[in-house]
Protein backbone atom coordinates (compact mmCIF):
# COMPACT_ATOMS: atom_id res chain seq x y z
CA UNK A 1 0.00 0.00 0.00
CA UNK A 2 1.40 3.39 -1.00
CA UNK A 3 1.21 6.68 0.84
CA UNK A 4 -1.43 7.89 -1.61
CA UNK A 5 -3.62 4.86 -0.88
CA UNK A 6 -3.28 5.46 2.87
CA UNK A 7 -4.48 9.03 2.44
CA UNK A 8 -7.31 7.89 0.15
CA UNK A 9 -8.44 5.38 2.78
CA UNK A 10 -8.45 8.12 5.38
CA UNK A 11 -10.30 10.55 3.14
CA UNK A 12 -12.96 7.94 2.50
CA UNK A 13 -13.46 7.44 6.24
CA UNK A 14 -13.24 11.10 7.27
CA UNK A 15 -14.70 12.96 4.30
CA UNK A 16 -14.09 16.69 4.41
CA UNK A 17 -12.08 16.63 7.62
CA UNK A 18 -8.59 16.19 6.21
CA UNK A 19 -6.54 19.08 4.90
CA UNK A 20 -2.96 19.79 3.83
CA UNK A 21 -2.29 16.21 2.80
CA UNK A 22 1.15 15.70 1.34
CA UNK A 23 3.94 13.16 1.09
CA UNK A 24 7.56 14.19 1.33
CA UNK A 25 10.78 12.42 2.33
CA UNK A 26 8.94 9.11 2.57
CA UNK A 27 6.46 10.26 5.15
CA UNK A 28 2.87 11.42 4.71
CA UNK A 29 1.35 14.30 6.60
CA UNK A 30 -2.27 15.18 7.20
CA UNK A 31 -4.00 17.89 9.18
CA UNK A 32 -7.19 17.08 11.06
CA UNK A 33 -9.57 19.05 13.29
CA UNK A 34 -8.50 18.97 16.94
CA UNK A 35 -11.76 17.44 18.11
CA UNK A 36 -11.49 14.34 15.94
CA UNK A 37 -7.97 13.29 16.85
CA UNK A 38 -9.04 10.22 18.82
CA UNK A 39 -11.40 9.06 16.09
CA UNK A 40 -8.66 9.26 13.48
CA UNK A 41 -6.06 7.57 15.71
CA UNK A 42 -8.51 4.82 16.65
CA UNK A 43 -9.45 4.27 13.00
CA UNK A 44 -5.78 4.02 12.00
CA UNK A 45 -5.14 1.64 14.88
CA UNK A 46 -8.11 -0.65 14.25
CA UNK A 47 -8.01 -0.77 10.46
CA UNK A 48 -6.79 -4.22 9.37
CA UNK A 49 -5.29 -2.73 6.18
CA UNK A 50 -3.37 0.07 7.87
CA UNK A 51 -2.52 -1.05 11.41
CA UNK A 52 -0.86 2.17 12.57
CA UNK A 53 -0.21 0.79 16.03
CA UNK A 54 3.07 2.40 17.00
CA UNK A 55 3.27 5.98 18.26
CA UNK A 56 6.81 7.08 17.43
CA UNK A 57 6.58 10.63 18.68
CA UNK A 58 4.20 13.21 19.97
CA UNK A 59 5.16 16.85 20.23
CA UNK A 60 3.97 20.37 19.55
CA UNK A 61 5.06 23.42 17.56
CA UNK A 62 4.36 27.03 18.43
CA UNK A 63 3.41 29.35 15.56
CA UNK A 64 2.87 32.71 17.25
CA UNK A 65 1.64 34.38 14.05
CA UNK A 66 -1.20 31.96 13.24
CA UNK A 67 -4.18 33.56 14.96
CA UNK A 68 -6.38 31.07 16.82
CA UNK A 69 -4.23 28.13 15.77
CA UNK A 70 -0.97 29.04 17.46
CA UNK A 71 -0.20 25.59 18.81
CA UNK A 72 0.22 22.61 16.52
CA UNK A 73 0.20 19.14 18.08
CA UNK A 74 2.00 16.53 15.97
CA UNK A 75 1.66 12.76 16.15
CA UNK A 76 4.14 10.52 14.37
CA UNK A 77 2.66 7.08 13.71
CA UNK A 78 4.36 4.02 12.32
CA UNK A 79 2.62 1.08 10.74
CA UNK A 80 4.88 -1.90 11.33
CA UNK A 81 2.56 -3.90 9.09
CA UNK A 82 3.03 -1.63 6.06
CA UNK A 83 6.36 -0.13 7.12
CA UNK A 84 4.92 3.30 6.42
CA UNK A 85 4.98 6.42 8.54
CA UNK A 86 2.31 9.06 8.97
CA UNK A 87 2.39 12.50 10.53
CA UNK A 88 -0.84 13.89 11.93
CA UNK A 89 -1.13 17.54 12.82
CA UNK A 90 -3.86 19.44 14.55
CA UNK A 91 -4.07 23.09 15.53
CA UNK A 92 -5.45 24.59 18.72
CA UNK A 93 -5.59 28.20 19.96
CA UNK A 94 -2.94 29.07 22.54
CA UNK A 95 -5.62 30.61 24.76
CA UNK A 96 -7.38 27.25 25.21
CA UNK A 97 -5.08 24.49 23.99
CA UNK A 98 -7.31 21.53 24.74
CA UNK A 99 -6.65 18.19 23.01
CA UNK A 100 -8.05 14.79 23.91
CA UNK A 101 -5.44 12.49 25.40
CA UNK A 102 -4.18 9.57 23.33
CA UNK A 103 -2.85 7.80 26.42
CA UNK A 104 -5.82 5.42 26.52
CA UNK A 105 -4.92 4.19 23.05
CA UNK A 106 -1.12 4.30 23.30
CA UNK A 107 0.37 3.83 26.77
CA UNK A 108 3.54 5.48 25.48
CA UNK A 109 1.62 8.69 24.92
CA UNK A 110 1.42 9.22 28.66
CA UNK A 111 4.94 10.60 29.11
CA UNK A 112 5.04 12.21 25.67
CA UNK A 113 1.93 14.20 26.50
CA UNK A 114 3.41 15.20 29.83
CA UNK A 115 6.50 16.42 28.00
CA UNK A 116 4.39 18.34 25.49
CA UNK A 117 2.45 19.88 28.36
CA UNK A 118 5.71 20.68 30.13
CA UNK A 119 7.19 22.60 27.21
CA UNK A 120 4.16 24.00 25.37
CA UNK A 121 1.32 23.93 27.89
CA UNK A 122 -0.96 21.80 25.76
CA UNK A 123 -3.83 20.64 27.96
CA UNK A 124 -4.47 16.96 27.24
CA UNK A 125 -8.03 16.41 28.38
CA UNK A 126 -8.44 13.08 30.19
CA UNK A 127 -4.75 12.53 30.86
CA UNK A 128 -4.33 10.56 34.12
CA UNK A 129 -1.36 12.54 35.45
CA UNK A 130 -0.76 15.77 33.55
CA UNK A 131 2.15 17.43 35.35
CA UNK A 132 5.68 18.50 34.48
CA UNK A 133 8.08 15.70 33.65
CA UNK A 134 11.43 17.18 32.57
CA UNK A 135 11.53 20.71 33.95
CA UNK A 136 11.58 21.70 37.60
CA UNK A 137 8.17 21.63 39.25
CA UNK A 138 8.47 25.28 40.28
CA UNK A 139 8.71 26.48 36.67
CA UNK A 140 5.81 28.83 36.02
CA UNK A 141 5.93 29.10 32.23
CA UNK A 142 6.20 26.93 29.14
CA UNK A 143 9.76 27.41 27.91
CA UNK A 144 9.38 26.32 24.28
CA UNK A 145 6.73 28.91 23.55
CA UNK A 146 8.22 31.64 21.42
CA UNK A 147 7.41 34.55 23.72
CA UNK A 148 9.92 33.32 26.31
CA UNK A 149 13.65 33.89 25.85
CA UNK A 150 15.88 30.88 25.38
CA UNK A 151 18.35 32.24 27.93
CA UNK A 152 18.06 31.82 31.65
CA UNK A 153 16.01 34.85 32.73
CA UNK A 154 17.63 34.97 36.17
CA UNK A 155 21.10 35.85 34.88
CA UNK A 156 22.15 39.44 35.24
CA UNK A 157 25.88 39.17 34.61
CA UNK A 158 25.87 38.42 30.90
CA UNK A 159 26.22 41.47 28.69
CA UNK A 160 24.20 40.92 25.53
CA UNK A 161 26.48 43.21 23.58
CA UNK A 162 29.25 40.64 23.97
CA UNK A 163 27.05 38.12 22.19
CA UNK A 164 26.30 40.35 19.22
CA UNK A 165 22.63 40.93 19.88
CA UNK A 166 22.34 44.51 21.03
CA UNK A 167 22.04 45.73 24.53
CA UNK A 168 18.77 44.04 25.44
CA UNK A 169 17.23 40.63 25.04
CA UNK A 170 14.67 40.89 22.28
CA UNK B 1 74.41 -5.29 46.92
CA UNK B 2 71.26 -5.82 48.92
CA UNK B 3 68.97 -8.59 47.68
CA UNK B 4 65.99 -6.21 47.75
CA UNK B 5 66.20 -2.79 46.15
CA UNK B 6 64.24 -0.26 48.09
CA UNK B 7 62.73 2.75 46.38
CA UNK B 8 64.73 5.67 47.70
CA UNK B 9 62.96 8.15 45.46
CA UNK B 10 60.17 8.83 47.94
CA UNK B 11 58.74 12.31 48.24
CA UNK B 12 58.23 13.33 51.82
CA UNK B 13 56.05 16.18 53.01
CA UNK B 14 58.03 19.01 54.55
CA UNK B 15 57.85 19.52 58.29
CA UNK B 16 55.65 22.38 59.35
CA UNK B 17 57.15 25.37 61.11
CA UNK B 18 58.04 24.61 64.71
CA UNK B 19 60.67 24.15 67.35
CA UNK B 20 62.73 21.04 67.59
CA UNK B 21 65.33 19.81 69.97
CA UNK B 22 66.68 16.52 71.11
CA UNK B 23 63.79 14.08 71.17
CA UNK B 24 60.97 16.57 70.61
CA UNK B 25 59.32 18.65 67.95
CA UNK B 26 56.74 21.27 68.81
CA UNK B 27 54.37 22.97 66.39
CA UNK B 28 50.82 24.22 66.42
CA UNK B 29 47.85 21.87 66.23
CA UNK B 30 46.59 23.87 63.25
CA UNK B 31 49.68 22.94 61.27
CA UNK B 32 49.62 19.26 62.13
CA UNK B 33 45.93 18.81 61.42
CA UNK B 34 46.24 20.86 58.24
CA UNK B 35 49.16 18.70 57.11
CA UNK B 36 47.24 15.50 57.77
CA UNK B 37 44.05 16.74 56.15
CA UNK B 38 45.59 18.16 53.00
CA UNK B 39 47.41 14.93 52.22
CA UNK B 40 44.47 12.62 52.80
CA UNK B 41 41.58 14.28 51.01
CA UNK B 42 38.80 11.90 50.04
CA UNK B 43 37.11 13.24 46.94
CA UNK B 44 33.50 12.60 46.06
CA UNK B 45 33.11 12.76 42.28
CA UNK B 46 29.83 14.25 41.07
CA UNK B 47 30.38 13.76 37.36
CA UNK B 48 27.59 14.50 34.90
CA UNK B 49 29.33 15.03 31.57
CA UNK B 50 32.57 15.45 29.64
CA UNK B 51 34.48 16.97 32.58
CA UNK B 52 33.79 13.66 34.29
CA UNK B 53 35.65 11.88 31.50
CA UNK B 54 38.64 14.16 32.05
CA UNK B 55 38.39 13.36 35.74
CA UNK B 56 38.58 9.64 34.95
CA UNK B 57 41.86 10.33 33.17
CA UNK B 58 42.98 12.36 36.16
CA UNK B 59 42.33 9.43 38.48
CA UNK B 60 43.92 6.85 36.19
CA UNK B 61 47.54 5.74 36.05
CA UNK B 62 48.97 8.44 33.78
CA UNK B 63 47.98 11.53 35.79
CA UNK B 64 47.30 9.64 39.02
CA UNK B 65 45.60 11.89 41.51
CA UNK B 66 46.63 9.36 44.15
CA UNK B 67 50.05 11.01 44.22
CA UNK B 68 48.40 13.88 46.09
CA UNK B 69 46.94 11.73 48.83
CA UNK B 70 43.56 11.36 47.16
CA UNK B 71 43.98 7.67 46.59
CA UNK B 72 40.51 6.70 47.58
CA UNK B 73 37.39 8.08 45.99
CA UNK B 74 34.46 7.87 48.32
CA UNK B 75 31.10 7.23 46.81
CA UNK B 76 29.24 8.15 49.94
CA UNK B 77 29.07 11.86 50.74
CA UNK B 78 29.15 11.02 54.43
CA UNK B 79 32.75 9.82 54.19
CA UNK B 80 34.15 12.50 51.90
CA UNK B 81 35.92 15.80 52.36
CA UNK B 82 35.92 17.22 48.84
CA UNK B 83 32.93 17.43 46.53
CA UNK B 84 34.14 17.59 42.93
CA UNK B 85 31.34 18.76 40.67
CA UNK B 86 32.18 18.03 37.06
CA UNK B 87 29.72 18.83 34.36
CA UNK B 88 26.46 20.57 33.55
CA UNK B 89 24.04 20.73 36.45
CA UNK B 90 20.47 21.18 35.33
CA UNK B 91 17.99 23.01 37.51
CA UNK B 92 16.27 19.75 38.21
CA UNK B 93 19.56 18.31 39.45
CA UNK B 94 20.30 21.30 41.71
CA UNK B 95 18.35 20.09 44.78
CA UNK B 96 20.06 16.70 44.51
CA UNK B 97 23.50 18.30 44.39
CA UNK B 98 22.55 20.38 47.39
CA UNK B 99 21.36 17.29 49.21
CA UNK B 100 24.69 15.57 48.53
CA UNK B 101 26.50 18.63 49.91
CA UNK B 102 24.32 18.66 53.02
CA UNK B 103 25.10 15.01 53.66
CA UNK B 104 28.83 15.69 53.82
CA UNK B 105 30.33 16.21 57.25
CA UNK B 106 32.30 19.34 58.12
CA UNK B 107 34.96 20.23 57.22
CA UNK B 108 34.00 19.97 53.56
CA UNK B 109 35.29 21.62 50.42
CA UNK B 110 33.83 22.03 46.95
CA UNK B 111 35.68 22.09 43.63
CA UNK B 112 33.74 23.27 40.58
CA UNK B 113 35.38 21.68 37.54
CA UNK B 114 34.77 23.14 34.11
CA UNK B 115 32.79 26.00 32.64
CA UNK B 116 29.36 24.42 33.21
CA UNK B 117 29.77 23.77 36.90
CA UNK B 118 31.36 27.19 37.36
CA UNK B 119 28.98 29.37 35.36
CA UNK B 120 26.60 27.31 33.27
CA UNK B 121 29.09 27.42 30.40
CA UNK B 122 27.61 27.49 26.92
CA UNK B 123 24.26 26.37 28.31
CA UNK B 124 22.73 29.75 28.95
CA UNK B 125 19.35 28.11 28.93
CA UNK B 126 16.13 27.90 30.89
CA UNK B 127 16.92 24.39 32.07
CA UNK B 128 20.53 24.70 33.24
CA UNK B 129 21.79 25.98 36.57
CA UNK B 130 24.03 28.98 35.88
CA UNK B 131 26.88 27.83 38.12
CA UNK B 132 26.68 25.58 41.17
CA UNK B 133 27.51 28.52 43.42
CA UNK B 134 23.83 29.38 43.13
CA UNK B 135 23.03 26.46 45.42
CA UNK B 136 26.21 25.56 47.35
CA UNK B 137 29.38 27.48 48.31
CA UNK B 138 32.39 26.75 46.10
CA UNK B 139 36.04 26.89 47.19
CA UNK B 140 37.92 26.56 43.90
CA UNK B 141 36.82 26.97 40.27
CA UNK B 142 38.65 25.15 37.48
CA UNK B 143 38.18 26.84 34.08
CA UNK B 144 38.08 24.95 30.80
CA UNK B 145 35.63 23.21 28.55
CA UNK B 146 36.57 20.59 29.54
CA UNK B 147 39.72 21.31 31.54
CA UNK B 148 42.67 19.02 30.96
CA UNK B 149 43.71 16.66 33.77
CA UNK B 150 46.60 19.02 34.58
CA UNK B 151 44.05 21.76 35.27
CA UNK B 152 41.99 19.48 37.48
CA UNK B 153 45.13 18.51 39.42
CA UNK B 154 45.96 22.19 39.73
CA UNK B 155 42.50 22.77 41.18
CA UNK B 156 42.96 19.92 43.66
CA UNK B 157 46.33 21.38 44.69
CA UNK B 158 44.67 24.75 45.25
CA UNK B 159 42.17 22.93 47.46
CA UNK B 160 45.09 21.31 49.30
CA UNK B 161 46.53 24.77 49.93
CA UNK B 162 43.24 25.91 51.38
CA UNK B 163 42.90 22.77 53.49
CA UNK B 164 46.44 23.00 54.80
CA UNK B 165 46.15 26.65 55.78
CA UNK B 166 42.65 26.58 57.16
CA UNK B 167 42.28 27.57 60.77
CA UNK B 168 40.65 24.96 62.96
CA UNK B 169 38.23 27.63 64.13
CA UNK B 170 37.14 28.73 60.68
CA UNK B 171 34.05 26.51 60.57
CA UNK B 172 32.87 27.98 63.85
CA UNK B 173 33.37 31.57 62.76
CA UNK B 174 30.53 34.03 62.28
CA UNK B 175 31.75 34.67 58.75
CA UNK B 176 31.45 31.00 57.79
CA UNK B 177 28.06 30.68 59.44
CA UNK B 178 26.97 33.76 57.52
CA UNK B 179 28.16 32.16 54.27
CA UNK B 180 26.11 29.02 54.90
CA UNK B 181 23.22 31.17 56.04
CA UNK B 182 23.29 32.98 52.68
CA UNK B 183 22.72 29.57 51.05
CA UNK B 184 19.96 28.72 53.50
CA UNK B 185 22.08 25.98 55.11
CA UNK B 186 21.97 25.74 58.90
* Helix, coil or strand: residue A81: coil
Torsion-angle region of residue A26: left (phi > 0), alpha (psi -120 to 50) or beta? left
Question: How large is the average pLDDT for residues A72-77?
Answer: 95
pTM above 0.90, yes or no: no
Interface contact A152, partner B, CB < 8 A? yes
- Evaluate if residue A159 carries a pLDDT over 70: no
Q: How open is the CA angle B71-B77-B81, to the nearest 5 degrees? A: 50
Measure Cα distances from B149 to B55, B72, B84 in Å: 7, 17, 13
Gap between the Cα atoms of B109 and B97, Å rounded: 14
pLDDT of A160 reads 67
Is residue A163 assigned to a domain?
A: no
Which residue in chain A is spatially nearest to B127 when comparing CA positions? Answer: A135
Which has the higher per-residue pLDDT, A168 or B153? B153
Written in H, E and C, the secondary structure of chain B is: CCCCCCCCCCCCCCCCCCEEECCEEECCHHHHHHHHHHCCCCEEEEECCHHHHHHHHHHCCCCCHHHHCCCCCCCCHHHCCEEEEECCCECCCHHHHHHHHHHCCCCCEEEEEHHHHHHCCCCCCCCECCCHHHCCCCCEEECCCCCCHHHHHHHHHHHHHHHHHCCCCHHHCHHHHHHHHHCCCC
Which domain range does residue A73 map to? 3-144
pLDDT of A163 reads 66
What residues in A contact B124, CB-CB < 8 Å? Answer: 150-152, 155, 158
Distance from CA of B62 to the nearest CA of A (A): 38
Question: How large is the average pLDDT for residues A128-136?
Answer: 92
Per-residue pLDDT of A84-121, as tens digits, reads 999 999 999 999 999 999 999 999 999 999 999 999 99
Q: Domain containing A45 — which CATH number?
A: 3.30.460.80
Distance from CA of B182 to the nearest CA of A (A): 18
Interface contact A153, partner B, CB < 8 A? yes
pLDDT band at A168 (very low <50, low <70, confident <90, very high): low
- Evaluate if residue B4 carries a pLDDT over 90: no
What residues in B contact A134, CB-CB < 8 Å? Answer: 92, 127
Per-residue pLDDT of B15-53, as tens digits, reads 888 899 999 999 999 999 999 999 999 999 999 999 999
pLDDT band at A20 (very low <50, low <70, confident <90, very high): confident
ipTM of the complex: 0.76
- Evaluate if residue A60 carries a pLDDT over 50: yes
Which has the higher per-residue pLDDT, B124 or B86? B86
Is residue A90 assigned to a domain?
A: yes
Pick from B92, B94, B124: CB nearest A151: B124
Question: How large is the average pLDDT for residues B85-97?
Answer: 94
Pick from B92, B125, B130: CB nearest A136: B92
The number of distinct structural domains making up chain A is 1
pLDDT of B34 reads 92
Is residue A155 assigned to a domain?
A: no
Question: How large is the average pLDDT for residues B93-118?
Answer: 94
What residues in B contact A148, CB-CB < 8 Å? Answer: 126
pLDDT band at B117 (very low <50, low <70, confident <90, very high): very high
Is residue A68 assigned to a domain?
A: yes
DSSP state of A161: G
**How many CB atoms sit inside 10 A of residue B175's CB?**
7
Residues paired with A73 in a beta bridge: A60, A90
Is residue A165 assigned to a domain?
A: no
Interface contact A136, partner B, CB < 8 A? yes
pLDDT of B13 reads 84
Distance from CA of B94 to the nearest CA of A (A): 10
Is residue A93 assigned to a domain?
A: yes
pLDDT band at A170 (very low <50, low <70, confident <90, very high): very low
What residues in A contact B126, CB-CB < 8 Å? Answer: 135, 139, 143, 148, 150-153
Is residue A162 assigned to a domain?
A: no
Contact between chains at B92 and A134 (C-beta distance less than 8 A): yes
Is residue A41 assigned to a domain?
A: yes
Amino acid sequence: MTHEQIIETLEAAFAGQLSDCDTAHGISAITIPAASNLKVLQFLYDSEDLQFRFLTDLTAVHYPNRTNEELCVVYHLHSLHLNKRLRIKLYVPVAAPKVFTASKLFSGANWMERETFDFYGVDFVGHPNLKRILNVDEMDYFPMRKEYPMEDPTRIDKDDEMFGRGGTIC
Amino acid sequence: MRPVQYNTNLKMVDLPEGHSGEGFFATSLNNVIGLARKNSIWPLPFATSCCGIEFMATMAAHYDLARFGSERLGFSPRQCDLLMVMGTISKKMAPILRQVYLQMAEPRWVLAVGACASSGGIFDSYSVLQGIDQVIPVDVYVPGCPPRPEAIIDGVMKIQELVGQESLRRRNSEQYKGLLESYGIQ
